[in-house]
Amino acid sequence: MDTNIIFSYFLKKLFEKKGKQIEARVANFLIISSKNVKYVVSILTKAEIIRKLRSEFSFEKEDIEKAWNDFISEVSPDYTQVSQSVEEIYREIISIVLDIPIKKRVTNLEHLIVAKKNNLIFVTGDREIAEKCRKFYEKIWSYNKLRGFYERRNDLKLQKK
Amino acid sequence: MSDEKRMLSEKERVEIEKAWERMANKFWKKLEYWKRYNPKKYRKFWRDYRKLEKAFGF
């Protein structure tokens, strides 16, 4: 997963703590679907979330650690170790950016390579990656596709009952 | 910071709730600050939020 989906979880919790009701359908989807879909995060996801919480809102280090632990406990994602070397990851990224003009920064490509090396589906809201990079790795899903997949699976379960 | 999934103890749970409360207070102050002094940033925050909900097809 890219960072945006996960960040929605943190925003939902922050609003809830202030007693503010906002529409948090992405975060609710993440929590509910995690009972049936096995999500995976890497150290890169974690680094991005921590960077955002610290830089945008100046939260304390200890509080961020506790919030991350709460996320791990509630959503129960698997944690994939990035065993590839930085050289190896960036060699692949270079081969992509040489072949396709990618306008944005390479963070989402890092996620993509980690997913590819571990044979995982990469769910991203980055349309540029989703549209241009499928020839490098087929298992790239948009948010919409993830939602569609989950809802169809649940429909099948209901039909079986 | 451990990433192993495990059951949290009651003590840890209480500490986590306190951490969320501290963060929520800071978060709210920041949003209020943006709303008053940095409306561009405030609008961007909500625009990005709505964009994500829309990208999910909600």
Q: Is residue B7 part of a domain?
A: no
Q: What is the residue range of B42's domain?
A: 12-55
Shared-domain flag, residues A72 and A18: yes
**Cβ-based contacts of B38 with chain A (< 8 Å):** none
Same domain, A76 and A8: yes
What pLDDT score was predicted for residue A20?
A: 86
**Lowest-confidence region among A10-19, A102-111, A147-156, B36-45:** A147-156
A83 pLDDT band, cuts 50/70/90, is: confident
Give the domain extent around A112.
Answer: 86-145
Q: What is the pLDDT at residue B29?
A: 96
- Which of A6-15, A63-72, A148-157, B10-19 shows the lowest mean pLDDT across its residues? A148-157
Inside any domain, residue B38? yes
> Would A156 be classed as within a structural domain?
no
Give the CA distances from residue A161 to residues A154, A157, A158, in Å, rounded to whole numbers and listed in that order.
11, 7, 5
Q: State residue A27's pLDDT score.
A: 93
Rounded to two decimals, the ipTM of the complex is 0.87
Whether B45 contacts B34, CB under 8 Å: yes
DSSP result, A138-157: S-EE-HHHHHHHHHHHHHHH
Asked if residue B44 is part of any domain, the answer here is yes
Which residue among A17, A70, A147 places its CB closest to the CB of B24?
A17
Q: What is the pLDDT of residue B12?
A: 87
Look at residue B1 and tell me if it is in a domain: no
B13 has a pLDDT exceeding 80: yes
Mean pLDDT value across residues A77-91: 90
| DSSP structural state of residue A123 | E
What confidence score (pLDDT) does residue A156 get? Answer: 60
Contact list in B for residue A125 (CB cut-off 8 A) is 52, 55
* Total Cβ atoms within 10 A of residue A130: 20
Residue A22 lies in a domain: yes
Residues A11 and A74 in one domain: yes
- With a cut of 60, say whether residue A161 has pLDDT above it: no
Q: Where are the alpha helices (DSSP H) in chain B?
A: 10-37, 39-55
The model's pTM: 0.87
Examine the domain organization and report whether A76 and A105 are in the same domain: no
Q: Which residue, A104, A3, A108, is CA-closest to A46?
A: A3
pLDDT 10s digits, A88-131: 999 999 999 999 998 888 889 999 999 999 999 999 988 889 88
Distance, in Å, from the CA atom of B50 to the CA atom of A8, rounded to the nearest integer, reads 11
| A21 within some domain | yes
Do A27 and A90 have their domain in common?
no
- The total number of structural domains in chain A stands at 2
Cβ within 8 Å of residue A66, ≥6 positions away:
B15, B16, B19, B20
Q: What is the mean pLDDT of chain B?
A: 89
- A66, B19: Cβ pair inside 8 Å? yes
Give the C-alpha separation, B24 to A14, whole Å: 5
Which residues have C-beta within 8 Å of that of residue A123, sequence separation ≥ 6?
Answer: A1, A2, A5, A141, A142, A143, A145, A146
Name the closest residue on chain A to residue B42, using Cα atoms.
A56
* Same domain, yes or no: A8 and A52: yes
pLDDT digits (tens, 9 = 90+) for A31-70: 999 988 999 999 999 999 999 999 999 999 999 999 999 9
How many structural domains compose chain B? 1
> Among all residues of chain B, which has the CA nearest to that of A13?
B20
Test A26 with B16 for CB contact under 8 angstroms. no
Q: Distances from the Cα of A96 to the Cαs of A89, A110, A123, A136, in angstroms?
A: 11, 11, 18, 8
Mutate to test the interface with B, among A2, A11, A14 (most CBs of B within 10 A): A14
* Dihedral (Cα; A87, A99, A105, A148), 10-degree rounding: -110
Chain A: residue nearest B49 by CA? Answer: A8
Q: Are residues A93 and A38 in the same domain?
A: no
pLDDT at B3 over 70: no
Q: Which residues of A touch B3 (CB under 8 A)?
A: 41, 46, 72, 79
